[in-house]
Amino acid sequence: MFKKLLRIAPQLESDGSYSPSKLALKLAVSPTTDYEPISYQPYEGEKCKIAVIFTEQKNMTMKNGKMFSTGNHPVEAILPMLHLKEAGFTFEIITPTGKPVAFEMWAMPDEDTHVINFYNKYKKQFQTPTRLQDFVDHSLRQDLSYAAVFIPGGHGAMLGIPEDVNVGKALHWAHDKGLFTITLCHGPGSLLSTQLDGNEFIYKGYQMAVFPDSVDKQTPMIGYLPGSMPWQLNEKLIDLGVVIVNKKSDKTTCVDRKLITGASPLAANELGKLAANTLLKEFS
Q: Catalytic positions, please?
A: 185
Q: How far apart are CA 226 and CA 220, in angstroms?
A: 6
Find, among 208, 209, 72, 75, the residue nearest to 151 by Cα.
Answer: 72
Q: How far apart are CA 280 and CA 284, in angstroms?
A: 5
Q: How far apart are CA 180 and CA 279, in angstroms?
A: 8
Q: How far apart are CA 167 and CA 232, in angstroms?
A: 20
Q: Which residues pair with 131 in a beta bridge?
A: 95
Q: How far apart are CA 96 and CA 16, in angstroms?
A: 24
